[in-house]
Amino acid sequence: MKKSVITIAAAVCMAALVTACGGSQTKTETTAAAGTEAAGGKLIMVTNAEFPPYEFRDNNEIVGIDADIARAIADKLGMELEIQDMAFDSLIPAIQSGKADFAAAGMTVNEDRKKNVDFTDTYAEAAQVIIVKEDSAIASPDDLTGKKIGVQTGTTGDIYADDIENGDIQRFNKGMEAVMSLTQGKIDAVIIDREPAKVFVKENAGLKILDEAFTEEEYAIAIKKGNTELVDKFNTAIKELKESGELQKIVDKYITAE
């Protein structure tokens, strides 16, 4: 009985086309009371649109693999999608506070983050790689000892770089800024995710990516801790996208095989 009331409420909200039910505050309350976002009719995604090909701006619109996957998931759930852009290290706090429903941001699953958010099933293999100048003496991760290393604040590259012996870690808000600093000779290497690394190296002459990756990792979508209902819905949608080949199609749209 209770369930059907919620379903009707959801349907009414959907019919009212979000306006009546939108606003993150309403949604947060609904989530707490009924445990369903469907009543809001709208999903708020947060990301850091400085991370091509996963998220970047094209004529001021946020596009990329994550944006397309999120749109496909929202479509499957019959919900509207709003994407908000913020600093990478603000994403998890935005989910925790209920300002956002989820983060799709090439976010690596790790144990520390699992304490603060829940993750969906993974949707991409990833790696942290090392970018150096073409003529650099740095040839493998072991050569980073005592070097000046650029990372993006709060990323796994930042976390792992902390373990480098005598490493002088320089933190940047955007991965691209770290790469600029490298081209200017201010730092010796950048640790960053493989796909953005490829884009940045292509756009800046005189740089290369070392063959040996620093770490292997996997991306997933982050959702508020305890919201298993939304995680389940996302996982079902992700599974369908994988099985139908739609996910691969999205990847192929942004990453062309070499």
Nearer to ligand GLN, 79 or 191 (CB): 191
Cα–Cα distance for residue pair 105/46, rounded to 1 Å? 8
Going by C-alpha positions, the residue among 51, 63, 74 that lies closest to residue 172 is: 51
Nearer to ligand GLN, 36 or 128 (CB): 128
Report residue 6 as tokens: 């919620």
Smallest separation, CB 252 to ligand GLN (Å): 21
Smallest separation, CB 60 to ligand GLN (Å): 19
Smallest separation, CB 218 to ligand GLN (Å): 9
Cα–Cα distance for residue pair 83/73, rounded to 1 Å? 13
Smallest separation, CB 211 to ligand GLN (Å): 20
Smallest separation, CB 92 to ligand GLN (Å): 10
Going by C-alpha positions, the residue among 127, 75, 73 that lies closest to residue 103 is: 73
Smallest separation, CB 88 to ligand GLN (Å): 5
Nearer to ligand GLN, 106 or 150 (CB): 106
Nearer to ligand GLN, 151 or 187 (CB): 151
Residues that bind ligand GLN (CB under 6 A): 48, 51, 88, 105-108, 152, 155-156, 193
Residue 177: Cβ within 10 Å count: 16
Nearer to ligand GLN, 110 or 136 (CB): 110
CA 148 to mean position of chain CA atoms: 26
**Residue 86 gets which letter from DSSP?**
-
DSSP 88-151: GGGHHHHHHTTS-SEE-SSPBP-HHHHTTEEE----EEEEEEEEEETT-S--SGGGGTT-EEEE
Nearer to ligand GLN, 48 or 120 (CB): 48
